[in-house]
Structure 1
């Protein structure tokens, strides 16, 4: 599957997985960066949620890329 950017503004960038069952979000707060994964209850994999806080953007984006690969699912 793939991830498609569905939101971008001055604080938040969000991607949706192509099956529509999961999102990833990168948010810049006043003092930190946050990365969040959220998977719906309806997903064949079941509900999932993970969130982490980072002091710098590079570490947040590295985790985001890792989660995009880890939370991707095979369409076959």
Structure 2
């Protein structure tokens, strides 16, 4: 196993973590929409979900960049 293989597998793991976090965001937003009727409470919940959503998107993008970099440099 070379360093490039490690970069590929590390990027894959980071992308998977990002995707799991994105699924959590979708489920949390759906639950909040079904349960919360107060506008202020909904805004606070969505503010927290949005922070996790942005972090999850960043993790997924970085993970995919690592995978592509490992594939390109490993050949």
Instruction: Please give the range of the TM-score, normalised by the shorter of the 2 chains.
Output: 0.3 to 0.5
Higher normalized helix content (fraction of residues): 2
Higher Rg: 2
Structure number with greater CO (CA < 8 Å, separation at least 6) is 2
Whose strand fraction is larger, Structure 1's or Structure 2's?
1
TM-score by length of 2: 0.35
